[in-house]
Structure 1
Amino acid sequence: MTEKQTTGSSTDVARRGTTDGALVSEQGRTSIADTVVSKIAGIAARDINGVHDLGGGAARAVGAIRERIPGSRTNLSQGVAVEVGERQAAVDLDIVAEYGVSIADLANAIRRNVVSSVERMTGLEVTEVNITVHDIFVESDADEEPATSRVE
């Protein structure tokens, strides 16, 4: 038998009417864990100019502590919650936007990039991307020096 006969062609998949030929085939089924989708969505959201950070206040505080531990890595799925089914995924993002950026334009850019990245990499259809803006990052807040101590 040739490889085409054993694996089937993409036209055979199209004729059978399956929209998720990459995830379900005659040879088996591919399951994608929630953490995989949340990492992809987190990276895609961070790629957009105007996104300062992901996560609400508590998540960012824990992330800041975690990053100070030697050898630790950035949690790429911080601020991302996903629901993954067999064919579809829904994504919820908590972000901190940079001051001066149009939040409506930022949200649209994030949605486009997250949908594109998740669908391209996983084959899942993204049904929705919900975004909550928790804070606005102002550059001058980060540059302020800590108050000097009154004692030595």
Structure 2
Amino acid sequence: MVQRDSQGPIIKPTGEELERQAKAASANEAQASEKLRGPLHTDLGKTTIEDRVVQKIASIATREVSGVYAMGNAARRTFNSLAERIPGAQANAAGGVSVEKGEQQTAIDVSIVVSYGFSIVEVSSEIRSNIIAQVERATGLEVIEVNVEVTDVHLPEDDDDDTETRDGLK
């Protein structure tokens, strides 16, 4: 049966076509509901995690890796050292970590200083593995990317220079 409207003929779908459309609609609904399923989204409620929580977990996971001398760039490290000298002030525990977080996934950027003598490739690999394991275990978020920026290499003589300057020997 052909019906007409102002733009031309409209053909009514057959029973098979109606079934295909219904199946496609239900498949789309199932995919939409599955997208919001996961450890943080259940029938009983939704759990949200602030960015700073992921930052702190990633920061701790990074500090656990051998060869990481410090975190953050020079400005961040200077600010943290000044903050430590002020009574009652706290240094940022998540310094050197930035996070982009969605509902179920996160991407993490880490800025570090590596101790001289350690392989930057190995340290970076261990940082990635540890951050992914700790963040996914603690939060249920899927870590899709961990970028490691090495801003400096700490040399043993750097400690001697800092000690002499602090003691007023220079």
Using the size of structure 2 for normalisation, the TM-score is: 0.74
Find the aligned partners of 2:37 and 2:118 in 1 and give their Cα distance.
37
Find the aligned partners of 1:143 and 1:110 in 2 and give their Cα distance.
28
Uncovered stretches (5+) of structure 2, i.e. residues with no partner: 1-32
Residue identity in the other structure for 2:53: V
**Residue 66 of structure 1 pairs with residue 83 of structure 2:** yes
Per-residue CA deviations over 1:16-53 (Å, capped at 9, x if unaligned) read 85795320111111011000000000000001010001
Residue 108 (structure 1) aligns with: 125
Q: Alignment partner for residue 138 of structure 2, among 112, 121, 127? A: 121
SS of equivalent to 1:86: coil
Find the aligned partners of 1:131 and 1:20 in 2 and give their Cα distance.
30
Q: Which has the larger radius of gyration?
A: 2
Residue identity in the other structure for 2:116: Y
Q: Contact (CA 8 Å) 1:20, 1:123: kept in 2 or not?
A: no
Q: Greater share of helix residues, 1 or 2?
A: 2
Find the aligned partners of 2:157 and 2:133 in 1 and give their Cα distance.
34
Residues 69, 29 of structure 1: alpha-carbon distance in 2 compared, 3 angstrom cutoff: same
Residue identity in the other structure for 1:29: K
Q: Contact (CA 8 Å) 1:38, 1:82: kept in 2 or not?
A: yes
Q: Alignment partner for residue 52 of structure 1, among 63, 66, 69? A: 69
Higher relative contact order (CA 8 A, sep 6+): 1
Q: What RMSD in Å do the two structures reach over aligned CA positions?
A: 1.8
Find the aligned partners of 2:88 and 2:160 in 1 and give their Cα distance.
26
Find the aligned partners of 2:134 and 2:114 in 1 and give their Cα distance.
21
Equivalent positions of 1:1-152 (< 5 A) are 21-144=38-161, 145-146=164-165, 148=169
Find the aligned partners of 2:169 and 2:62 in 1 and give their Cα distance.
37
Find the aligned partners of 1:20 and 1:130 in 2 and give their Cα distance.
27
Using the size of structure 1 for normalisation, the TM-score is: 0.82
SS of equivalent to 1:64: helix
SS of equivalent to 1:49: coil
Per-residue CA deviations over 1:70-99 (Å, capped at 9, x if unaligned) read 233342210000001000000000000000
Aligned length: 134
Find the aligned partners of 2:52 and 2:94 in 1 and give their Cα distance.
7
